[in-house]
Amino acid sequence: MKKSGLILTALIGLAAASGVLAAVPQTAKPAAAALSVRYEELSSPDFVQAVARSGGTCIVPLGILEKHGPHLPLGTDLIDCREVSLRAAAADYAVVFPPYFVGQIFEAKHQPGTIAYGSRMMFDILQQTCDELARNGFKKIVLVNGHGGNDAFLHFFCQSQLEARHDYVVYLFEPSEDEATKAKLDKMRKTAVDGHAGEEETSVMLAHHPGLVRLDRAGAESGEDQKRQAGLTNAYTGIWWYAGQPNHYRGDGSAGNAEFGRALIEAETAALVEMVRSVKKDTVTAELQKKFFDDAAKPLETKPFVRK
């Protein structure tokens, strides 16, 4: 799957190059250009074809702008989840939405470079993005989250799709690893504590954008859990992450290596390809959603399921 992704990327590159040369008179008819998987690269007429070819499936990779330890770029989550999304879309055609960096990141407001939009705005922008994609024919929207701080928000966002009737479905990518993949990755892993700009994220960036990694700086700050709320039991507070990881760094990026990164990207891409294929085939969710809203409009008429 990784190979076919690279081949398609190469084809897109060639198509772009042939566009540049279009002014040169040619006797042979140019071959039809491949449809880009990148939303922003499609022409308006090609967009119509892309919607059809994707089965109305658009992938929205969600990143954020936040510190990633002292050694990784602010857009790490954005760059990483786009890489996986682009590879998956190339393997099984889907359109990938342009870079999207609006999400929940209040916990890093004390660090340079964080862009933390308000909670209502982040909800509205995502809802309106989905509405606009659906108005343009994408009835299956796949959210690929690259940022841990978005987890609760995106689950709430999915639950909120039941607030009002939609003619589209929002799917959230939730990868799981099979036993063999898990064992392979565990064998390659060198550190026990990870979670933000640690071994995994550093490895992934080393695998596909090594020039953006300053590995020599990875040990300049502590990625250890400071356990500053250790006295609190059976309780959750919004400050929990800052309490443990005030440097917005969890783990040790020095342990990162490109080989581990490639394995992580391949595993996640394979899981996403599998998900996109199941989403494209899925008709049940849209039917259930419709039935649910029909019932919700007349709850007194809702028929119970009887025991078989």
Binding site for Zn ion (CB under 5 A): 77, 147
**Tokens for 197?**
């700009």
Answer yes or no: are the C-beta atoms of 35 and 53 closer than 8 Å. yes
| Closest to Zn ion by CB, 68 or 166 | 68
Please, which residue, 5 or 103, has the CB nearer to Zn ion?
103
Closest separation in Å from C-beta 205 to Zn ion: 12
- Minimum distance from residue 107 beta carbon to Zn ion (Å): 10
Least Å from the CB of residue 217 to Zn ion: 18
CB of 71 or CB of 147, closer to Zn ion: 147
Please say which residue, 5 or 75, places its beta carbon nearer to Zn ion.
75
The C-alpha atoms of residue 37 and residue 266 are separated, in whole angstroms, by 18
**Rg of the chain taking only CA atoms, in angstroms:** 22
Nearer to Zn ion, 77 or 83 (CB): 77
CB of 253 to Zn ion, least distance (A): 14
**What is the C-alpha to C-alpha distance for residues 94 and 38, in angstroms, rounded to an integer?**
9
C-alpha neighbours within 13 Å on the C-beta side of residue 34: 19
Residue 108 beta carbon to Zn ion: minimum distance, rounded to whole angstroms:
8
Angle CA 44–48–53, to nearest 5: 135
| Size (the chain), residues | 308
Could you tell me the strand order of the sheet in which 169-172 lies? 95-96, 57-62, 140-145, 169-172
Shortest distance, position 148 Cβ to Zn ion, whole Å: 5
**Among candidate residues 184, 200, 181, 204, the one with its CA nearest the CA of residue 192:** 200
Nearer to Zn ion, 147 or 166 (CB): 147
Cβ-based nearer residue to Zn ion, 77 or 268: 77
Q: How far is the CB of 102 from Zn ion (least distance, A)?
A: 13
Q: Would you tell me how many other CB atoms lie within 10 Å of the CB of residue 141?
A: 25
Residue nearest to Zn ion (CB): 147
CA atoms within 13 A on the CB side of 236: 1
- Rounded to the nearest whole angstrom, what is the least distance from the CB of residue 249 to Zn ion in the complex? 11
Angular region, 56: left φ>0, alpha ψ -120 to 50, beta rest: left
State in angstroms the smallest separation of the CB of 115 from Zn ion.
Answer: 12
Cα–Cα distance for residue pair 134/128, rounded to 1 Å: 10
- Decide whether 157 or 168 has the Cβ nearer to Zn ion: 157
Side chain identity at residue 203, one-letter code: S
Best CA proximity match to 215, nearest among 246, 261, 182: 261
> Which tokens in the block code for residue 28?
């042979």
Beta strands per DSSP E along 27-133: 57-62, 95-96
In the complex with Zn ion, which residue's Cβ is closer, 93 or 101?
A: 101
